[in-house]
Structure 1
Amino acid sequence: MTRPSPQPTLGDLLDGLRVVSIPMRVRFRGVEHREAALIQGPAGWGEFAPFLEYEPAEASRWLAAAIEAAFVGWPEARRPTVPVNATVPAVSAAEVAPIVARFDGCTTAKVKVAEPGQSLADDLARVAATREVLGASGRIRIDANGGWSVADAVDAVSALSRHGLEYVEQPCASVEELRDVRMALARKGIDVSVAADESVRKAEDPIRVARLGAADLVIVKVAPLGGVARALEIVQDCGLPAVVSSALDTSVGIAAGVALAAALPDLPHACGLGTVSLLGGDVTRDSLRPRGGVLPIGSVDVDDALVEQWAAPAERVAWWRERVAAAHALLR
């Protein structure tokens, strides 16, 4: 691993800070425009883009990850490319095929389910359409973002499993509920693994899911966990297979996710790092979109003209500068 640099000052981070606002192709997680602050340092570019509702304490981990990328660097890669999955938002069944088509060569798809205001029938239609697009050999995983109760999760997974599921991601909100869902599925003979996402990246104790036997695998995201090095430690401590995912990043943030996936000792599943395909623009001419179902490792060349094209309004730049300052004050 690259030798750590001294902690940058707030001035180091704010000098040359660039803020972009990029439209989404499809509304995702309630987001229609993705805002991100880009930080340049001696090691390259880092991305600071916690979702707008996150408080400074949680956002400080995202800043630590951006500092690692810009001022420290990443561990050595174990593989030259990383397989990735397509991501299907909570859209109608008719919209599935054109969305999957944006993810060149991907044979795995993650489908959003349990969307507020939608029904299990909507989820069934979306997953069935995804199966039709991928064919019998494709892999489908579903993500409920903690939206179900234990009973609803067991009923929903039982119904959706007819289409063949690789795993269900965060079916319920709490670690105890994940454990209960996992046990209930096993008792019913439903062979669908349980993956923990929010119960890892938003937890004070991310190893708890492993101690309680609440998950078969973990979903890890670089920014919410504080960087590539910290995420590697968490995966090692959990002792479970890991899938690296993104958080609606530009290619700068995606590059950090690819670095994590490339550094993992084992990578048995495709990773959720193809989400630049959901954005209506990017900050580089060579976007990290999947080609042949994989992404290459490496740094990103940020294009000044694109940053200017997607530049956020002055008041939003001021807001992000204040947010960087608040998060920086809480860095350990």
Structure 2
Amino acid sequence: MFSLPSLEQLVAAAHVVALPMRVKFRGVLVREVMILEGPAGWCEFGPFLEYDDEESSRWLASALEAGWLGYPEPVRSRVLVNATVPAVSAEQVPAVLASFDGLATVKVKVAEAGQSMADDAARVGAVRHLLPDAKIRVDANGGWSVEQAIAALRMLNVFGLEYAEQPVAGIAEMAAVRRTLNGSVLIAADESVRKASDPLAVARAGAADLLVIKAAPLGGVRRALEIVAEAGLPAVVSSALDSSVGISTGLALAAALPELPYACGLGTVSLMAGDVTTPSLVALNGGMHVREVVADPDLLAHFAAPAQRRDWWLERLRRCHALLRQPSEW
């Protein structure tokens, strides 16, 4: 594959940035990530702060693949992209959608802690009111029980759902929801794929109609392509609240998939009030063209994280790098 760069090389190439959000997303108002420059290009190491070292090491493997090896050859030059609506109030939906260009597909976050099914219905209904012809998908991030998921999806399907992403947490629970809904709402697996020790268990259990794939949590573009091929299910490529550098990895994965029947969730830079490159990698007329993303030194400096946060990320890098040095992890 390629030689693992030394920790000293990575530290020398590392920039830690703190990017402000326009709206809260996954509870995040400031997104911290590490940006690195390798011989093959710029890459991003950005596991969420709560992730442990074992899980985070896969994100580092993905970054090193991008920066030190490069991406597989694409089979398409443009990828359709959905807009994303966080768990905001229905009144805030128009302002969120205004930041996206070309709105043929919209993903709406639901099942937010502290909110009700009525809040979800109001948010999805606001999207449908504004965009009567758009495809709408919902994402619960595993926040419902089986009973709640069945009730909520039957209710929300009055607005016409393309699919529901990770309505419940477990694979067995996903299968139960899918059996009960019996095709009236398609079920997509996200966390059940990227957090499981066996990503193919979802397909074997008949728990999903399609997979939502993120390159970084799976260890990189090549590993994600292998999982999709082995699972034999349609795939949607999604982001993990990345900068444009991180989005370029998801875009490379989407561009390399043999088949791509759904719009991809790669438009989250539009939810940010800061980025590391100009122009940002955002959708134009509902899609993204595959291109190289180069970080801007001035933006890296402008959004540089405080010294103590840089130290925190460098220590995390050290621990994850040590895991990758083990043959079983690399």
Q: Which range, TM-score by smaller chain?
A: over 0.9
Partner of 1:201: 194
User: Contact 1:104–1:292 at 8 Å: present in 2 too?
Assistant: yes
**Unpaired runs of at least 5, structure 2:** 325-329
Partner of 1:175: 171
Q: Output the amino acid matched with 2:100.
A: F
The reply to whether residue 165 of structure 1 matches residue 161 of structure 2 is: yes
Partner of 1:133: 130
* Cα distance between partner residues in 2 of 1:32 and 1:51: 13
User: Deviation at 1:106?
Assistant: 2.4
The equivalences for 1:78-93 within 5 A come to 78-93=75-90
Q: Output the amino acid matched with 1:242.
A: A
SS state of the match for residue 54, structure 1?
Answer: coil
User: Contact 1:124–1:160 at 8 Å: present in 2 too?
Assistant: yes
Partner of 1:63: 60
User: Deviation at 1:288?
Assistant: 0.5
The reply to whether residue 269 of structure 1 matches residue 262 of structure 2 is: yes
The equivalences for 1:109-120 within 5 A come to 109-120=106-117
Partner of 1:234: 227
Q: Output the amino acid matched with 2:310.
A: V
* Cα distance between partner residues in 2 of 1:106 and 1:94: 18
The reply to whether residue 121 of structure 1 matches residue 118 of structure 2 is: yes
* Cα distance between partner residues in 2 of 1:316 and 1:20: 9
SS state of the match for residue 211, structure 2?
Answer: strand
* Cα distance between partner residues in 1 of 2:27 and 2:134: 28
TM-score by length of 1: 0.97
User: Contact 1:106–1:290 at 8 Å: present in 2 too?
Assistant: no
Partner of 2:283: 290
* Cα distance between partner residues in 2 of 1:20 and 1:80: 29
Q: Output the amino acid matched with 2:15.
A: R
SS state of the match for residue 106, structure 2?
Answer: strand
Q: Percent identity?
A: 58
* Cα distance between partner residues in 2 of 1:267 and 1:114: 27
User: Contact 1:109–1:139 at 8 Å: present in 2 too?
Assistant: yes
* Cα distance between partner residues in 2 of 1:11 and 1:203: 31
* Cα distance between partner residues in 1 of 2:164 and 2:13: 41
When structure 1 is superposed on structure 2, of 140-149 and 96-105 the one drifting more is 96-105
Q: Output the amino acid matched with 2:258.
A: P
Q: Output the amino acid matched with 1:116.
A: A
Deviating above 4 A after TM superposition, structure 1's stretches of 4 or more consecutive aligned residues are: none
User: Deviation at 1:16?
Assistant: 2.6
User: Contact 2:20–2:273 at 8 Å: present in 1 too?
Assistant: yes
User: Contact 2:13–2:38 at 8 Å: present in 1 too?
Assistant: no
User: Deviation at 1:298?
Assistant: 1.9
* Cα distance between partner residues in 2 of 1:207 and 1:308: 41
* Cα distance between partner residues in 2 of 1:240 and 1:279: 31
SS state of the match for residue 266, structure 2?
Answer: coil
Partner of 1:150: 146
TM-score by length of 2: 0.97
1:327 aligned to which of 300, 320, 326: 320
The reply to whether residue 9 of structure 1 matches residue 6 of structure 2 is: yes
* Cα distance between partner residues in 1 of 2:110 and 2:258: 31
Q: Output the amino acid matched with 2:203.
A: A
* Cα distance between partner residues in 2 of 1:41 and 1:259: 17
User: Deviation at 1:102?
Assistant: 1.0
Partner of 1:103: 100
- Number of residues of Structure 1 aligned to a counterpart in Structure 2: 325
Q: Output the amino acid matched with 2:56.
A: A
User: Deviation at 1:11?
Assistant: 1.2
SS state of the match for residue 103, structure 1?
Answer: coil
Q: Deviations over 1:158-184 (max 9, x none)?
A: 000000000000000000000000000
SS state of the match for residue 237, structure 1?
Answer: helix
User: Contact 2:137–2:162 at 8 Å: present in 1 too?
Assistant: yes
Q: Output the amino acid matched with 2:188.
A: A
